Amino acid sequence: MPARLSDLLPDPHHAVKAARGVVAVLTAAAVLLATPAARAQSPRIPIIRDAETEQLLRDYTQPILRAAGLAQQNIRVAIINEKTFNAFVMDGRRIFINAGTLMESKTPNEVIGVLAHETGHIAGGHLARLREQLAAAQTASIIAMLLGIGAMVAGARSGSNSGLGNAGMAAVLAPQEALRRSLLSYQRSQEEQADRAAVKFLTATGQSTKGLYDSFKRLSDQMLFSARFADPYQQSHPMPAERVAALEVLAKASPTWDKKDSPELQLRHDLVRAKLYGFIDRGESVGRRYPLSDTSLPARYARAIATYRHGDLRNAVAQIDALIREMPNNAYFHELKGQALLEGGHPAEAIAPLRRAAQLAPTPALIQILLAQALNATGNKAHADEAAGLLRVALSREPEVPEAYTQLAMAYGRKGDLAQADLASAQAAFYRGDSRTARQLATRAKTRLPIGSPAWVRADDLANIKTGPGEN
């Protein structure tokens, strides 16, 4: 259709592009909201998987979810490998939080406040309502665009390009701006509602509301200059000063305003911050943030990680051993030692610390996958049964980890079970978003499996998929 209209419009590329601009943006937003699982699997959203950090966030979130009546909804927190301070929700299953939010937050309560705000969006049904708003805006936008283009076409046919043609352009653009402002206003009201819900949840769980206020106050200070000249009707969030002022009144009215985080929770928070800095920052940056003069446990943790990441395995292991001597029951110190040894080319030596980590961790699935990887990496067929068993248990809790299926395929291959190896490889391909390879491997697995068996049924499902997570 645009190609045919291009023969009639005086400036077709600009006019149609302008007319469709808001429609395209709204459609993209609707797709983003509608397909979070695919987006989460996409390499465009780099997700960090770490047992320690996820356990901390789980412990932060569970009391809030119970207060919100969402404890049975299996809502998880996903960590994005991004150093800026941000968090958001895209469906009712996941809260996405940037690593930078953890790295910049000095207290657990600051992160808990942010998670309470995002929980407020889920509890308030804001995502479903926003989809309705987007759908209505899309419909209205498309109608406005077609009416505007029709007016321009009529003007072009009659030769009055400056008359009906200009009127058509106005008909295209003016409703788009009104719809955009209406949608942004709706989003601002949702943010205010989520703030109020967050205060309610924090108070109900006996946690301070100060961290929530501190987080948004810091963001407000960062936005102050850019917001000074901003049009408040062009913002999807309330203007910083207004929002912070309203939040301050709410937060300070809570009886839990002055409640402090426990020393144990503060230490766990500091260790996770140090871990993220150790893995994400460059070595020299870690050294400046955690100088040798800082002998605290988190500082030594960050330096040990930075040391192993930059190739000094022997020194790193010595530093990690010192951490283990100080906290022998810290699962994640043992995990770090095993990871360093495995990635340093010593898989056999990595097995013992990873076994100990899996024993100590409250939710060991990710560590079990790493342990199975170390067992496979030894090349010893005697480890195949243990590796396969660990992976089956881990996948019962973490069924969407492609690497786990890849390791499971290796274990089955060493055992000579080619049917199960094909099926595991097909599942790995599926969760990587490669549906073509998944179908091929699953079809081959079916020929090797007893017809009607549970494994055959899973292979049959994969052999008939249309697209995998993350595929267009």
Do 261 and 157 lie in one domain? The reply is: no
| Residue 444 or 229, more confident | 444
Residue-range definition of the domain harbouring residue 28: 1-205+210-253
- Reply yes or no on whether the pLDDT at 423 is more than 90: yes
Q: Are residues 149 and 291 in the same domain?
A: no
Report yes or no on 133 lying in a domain.
Answer: yes
In a domain, 43, yes or no: yes
For residues 200 and 70, state if they share a domain.
Answer: yes
Domain membership flag for residue 418 = no
pLDDT band at 260 (very low <50, low <70, confident <90, very high): very high
At 220, is the pLDDT very low, low, confident or very high (cuts 50, 70, 90)?
confident
Q: What is the mean pLDDT of the chain?
A: 80
Q: Domain boundary residue among 283, 298, 328?
A: 328
7 and 98 inside one domain: yes
How much is the pLDDT for 90? 77
Collect all residues with Cβ–Cβ distance below 8 Å to 386 and sequence separation of at least 6: 372, 375
Last residue of a domain, one of 194, 223, 253: 253
Q: How many domains does the chain have?
A: 2
315 belongs to a structural domain: yes
Distance CA 60, CA 55 (A): 9
Task: State how far the Cα of 117 lies from the Cα of 88, in Å rounded to an integer.
Answer: 9
Residues 115 and 198 both lie in one domain: yes
Residue that finishes a domain, picked among 269, 301, 328: 328
Across 88-115, average pLDDT = 92
pLDDT of residue 91: 73
Weakest mean pLDDT among 56-70, 112-126, 180-194, 296-310: 180-194
* In a domain? residue 25: yes
Let me know whether 26 and 144 are in one domain: yes
**What are the Cα distances from residue 122, in Å, to 67, 227, 263, 436?**
13, 27, 30, 35
Same domain, 106 and 61: yes
Give the per-residue pLDDT at 93: 85
**Structure tokens belonging to residue 19:** 């007319």
Same domain, 160 and 239: yes
Same domain, residue pair 288 and 151 = no
* Cα angle, residue 190 at apex, residues 118 and 116 outer, rounded to 5°: 20
Side chain identity at 442, as an amino acid letter?
A
- Burial track 190-228 (b if 16+ CB lie within 10 A, e otherwise): bbbebbebbbbbbbbbebbbbbbbbbbbbbbeebeeeee
Is residue 12 pLDDT above 90, yes or no? no
Q: Kindly state whether residue 151 falls inside one of the protein's structural domains.
A: yes
Please give the average per-residue pLDDT across 144-170, as a whole number: 49
Is residue 464 very low, low, confident or very high in pLDDT (cuts 50, 70, 90)?
A: very high
pTM: predicted TM-score of the whole model, two decimal places: 0.77
Of residues 76, 40, 150, 81, the one with CA closest to residue 469: 40
Residues 251 and 257 sit within 8 Å (Cβ to Cβ): yes
Percentage of the chain modeled with pLDDT above 90: 62
Residue 422 is assigned to a structural domain of this protein: no
Q: Tell me if 129 is assigned to some domain.
A: yes
Mean pLDDT of 274-297: 96
For residues 164 and 301, membership in a common domain is answered with no
Question: What value does the mean pLDDT take over residues 223-233?
Answer: 42
DSSP H or E segment with residue 164: helix 164-204
What average pLDDT does range 403-410 have in this prediction?
Answer: 98
194 and 315 share a domain? no
The pLDDT assigned to 16 comes to: 33
Rounded CA separation 147/430 (Å): 44
Q: Looking at the structure, do residues 237 and 301 belong to the same domain, yes or no?
A: no
**Residue type at 207?**
Q
